[in-house]
Amino acid sequence: MIEVVCNDRLGKKVRVKCNTDDTIGDLKKLIAAQTGTRWNKIVLKKWYTIFKDHVSLGDCILCVISRGRIYIPILVLFVKY
């Protein structure tokens, strides 16, 4: 399980728990549920690298080394509305 931090630099910061094998699209849905926007309006980036919806989180988050415990990698992603 991963907790992902999403920050839009305008005041909305959200931490979302999800699995490693979830896709970005799922993550977006979770974010949308928490922030109140539409999930297809969210754009997740890692400093201009936009993450596409079909990619799984495990492939995106490269610094994760699953340790068999609750591990929270801090991935600052920008959410655009």
b/e per residue, 50-78, with b = 16+ CB within 10 A?
Answer: ebeeeebbeebbeeeeeeeeeeebebebb
At its nearest, how many Å lie between other proteins and the CB of residue 76? 11
For residue 32, what is the enclosing H or E element? helix 24-35
CA 32 – CA 53 distance, rounded (Å): 14
16 pairs with which residues across the strands?
4
- Does 30 bind other proteins (CB under 8 A)? Our answer is yes
User: Applying CB under 8 A, does 34 fall inside the site for other proteins?
Assistant: yes
Contact with other proteins (CB under 8 A) among 8, 16, 44, 79: 16
Select from 29, 44, 60, 77 the one that contacts other proteins (CB under 8 A). Answer: 29
Residues in contact with other proteins by CB under 8 A are 1, 3, 5, 7, 11, 13-20, 22, 26, 29-30, 33-34, 63, 65-74
